[in-house]
Amino acid sequence: MKWRMPAETEQQDRTWMAFPSQGYSLGDTVEEHHEARSTWAAVAHAIAEFEPVTVVVDPAEREAATKYLSADIDVVETPLNDAWMRDIGPTFVLDDDGHLGAVNWVFNGWGAQGWARWDRDEKIGAFVADRAGATLIDSPLVNEGGGIQVDGRGSVLVTETVQLDPGRNPDWTKADVEAELARTLGVTNVVWLLRGLTRDSQTYGTRGHVDIVAGFAADSVLLVHDQRDPAHPDHDVSREAIELLSHATDSDGNPWTVVPVPAPETLRDDEDFVDYSYINHLVVNGAVIACAFGDPVDRDAAAVLADAYPGRRVVSVDARPLFARGGGIHCITQHQPAPAPSPRSPCTTRP
């Protein structure tokens, strides 16, 4: 059976999320709890205007979830360690007949990081796949959804610091990774970036997820994070990524239209240089759920996204509480593609 991971711009059935539970993302104080729950809920409600949302909730957090999530949000319960659904959930794919599959990567806490716990989260991929009615596709590759970006036509972006991370896949070669991505995602063209953003490579980061650096939009457009201030260490990372992707090609050998997306003017928070990035947005049916940072560049970045995704409304949500915890809007969501209409039912169409 051949599988294909659709582009995020293709029709979707729903978005999956997880609700913050006791641990790093929820925080230690009442104020931190409220901030986390409010931000995750704001993203869920923004998406729910355009497509169904299902939120996985730890049983201990059911009462809190009921207070923060509206009745429009579907809730299912199972034990959780954390709330980064892009990484702990499955990666959805379709077969040649349009049937839904779910790739169940090995999850080990972003490379077995000392602060992470994953005894519960490593089971979420199979749990969500079962709830979605998808065929489970087990993979031996330690990987996360935030570590891949596809165009739906045979190409995938990855980073050497994730798939080749000694804490994830110490014995794998590039050829091994590419063969497994071909088997599970149906890709034939793997484009390797050297690294991710600087903050994301520090203690509480993912060691270089690509979904904060670059991603595919409509009509062969490739969006790339552009840190234009030389004072920020990501200035060099951006230059490197833009240069590499400007010379890369899709699975047919055609170049992409590379569109640099300006980074916010904000360079630092209370801890260090930030990794604020507008690349970490979510595409849903009819809209783009975008990160905002209370920054002068928010409006300009939203305009770039509107041009890159014609016909979709850009809805911005303050993502600073997410980035303070190690991720963004794309990181806390996982989109489920809609199954293709049966060729035997010509009257069944999708918008």
Percent helix / strand / coil, the chain, rounded to 5: 30, 25, 45
- How is the beta sheet containing 149-150 ordered, strand by strand? 149-150, 155-159, 189-193
3-class DSSP state of 247: coil
3-class DSSP state of 112: helix
Catalytic residue among 331, 332, 338, 340: 331
Q: Take residue 219 and report the two structure tokens written for it.
A: 């009509």
**Main-chain dihedrals φ then ψ at residue 245, nearest 5 degrees:** -70, -25
With residue 308 as reference, give the H or E element that holds it: helix 298-308
**Main-chain dihedrals φ then ψ at residue 217, nearest 5 degrees:** -115, -160
**Nearest by Cα to 9 from 277, 226, 321, 287:** 287
Q: Is 331 in the active site?
A: yes
**Nearest by Cα to 177 from 124, 139, 125:** 139
> Can you tell me the distance from the alpha carbon of 39 to that of 27, in angstroms, rounded to the nearest whole number?
13
Cβ-proximal residues to 346 (8 Å cutoff; 6+ apart), any chain: none
* Residues annotated as part of the active site: 331
